[in-house]
């Protein structure tokens, strides 16, 4: 009685699950920072419109906030890579 090889099928399912995990972790991890960057830029434009003389100070603080907010996306990408390559 011959048995069907299951290693090829299960290996493909595992690879597909890993790819799905990588895509979902990065995509879902980018939603929060995307909302945060939009909110931050909107409030900066609003602040500059109210007090144009503070434009330089507001922009420097805004760029610091953008860098910290965007770092979250890279953490999500890193965790996706960990799940993809190490699990």
Q: What is the mean pLDDT of each run of 10 residues along the chain (87 residues)?
A: 58 85 88 92 94 94 91 88 83
What pLDDT was estimated at residue 26?
87
For residue 67, give its domain range: 25-86
What pLDDT was estimated at residue 1?
56
CATH number at residue 32: 1.20.20.10
Q: Count CB neighbours of 25 within 10 A.
A: 20
CA distance 59 to 40: 11
Does the residue 18 lie in any domain? Answer: no
CA distance 66 to 76: 16
What pLDDT was estimated at residue 52?
94
Total domains, the chain: 1
pTM of the predicted structure, to 2 decimals: 0.69
Does the residue 79 lie in any domain? Answer: yes
Does the residue 76 lie in any domain? Answer: yes
CA distance 47 to 28: 30
What pLDDT was estimated at residue 63?
93
Q: Does residue 75 contact residue 17 with C-beta atoms inside 8 Å?
A: no
What pLDDT was estimated at residue 13?
87
């Amino acid at each position: 009685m011959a048995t069907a090889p299951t290693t090829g099928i299960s290996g493909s399912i595992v690879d597909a699950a890993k790819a799905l995990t990588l895509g979902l972790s990065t995509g879902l991890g980018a939603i929060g920072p995307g909302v945060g960057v939009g909110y931050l830029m909107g409030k900066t434009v609003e602040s500059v419109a109210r007090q144009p003389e503070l434009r330089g100070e507001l922009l420097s603080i805004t760029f610091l906030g953008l860098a910290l907010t965007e770092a979250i996306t890279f953490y999500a990408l890193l965790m996706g890579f960990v799940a993809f390559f190490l699990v």
